[in-house]
Amino acid sequence: MAEPISSPCVRVCAIEAATNLCAGCGRTLKEIGMWSRMTEAERKTIMAALPERLAQASQAGR
């Protein structure tokens, strides 16, 4: 049986125009589109960067 795909999705899917990032998870549209075709290592690398991305996006929005 296949392992489930790791995902940072929080079901708040809206791309912010100023950052081009999803407001909920912090991924780009390209990353979202490629997510199921990425390796688990690639997904984990992106997920590790998401908290910082979201923090920077939050700072930019102030």
Q: Dig out the tokens for 9 from the structure.
A: 């999705």
Question: Which amino acid type is present at position 22?
Answer: C
pTM score: 0.86
Query: What's the pLDDT tens digit per position in 14-51?
Result: 999 989 999 999 999 999 999 999 999 999 999 999 99
CA 46 – CA 40 distance, rounded (Å): 10
Measure the CA–CA gap between 41 and 10, rounded to whole angstroms.
20
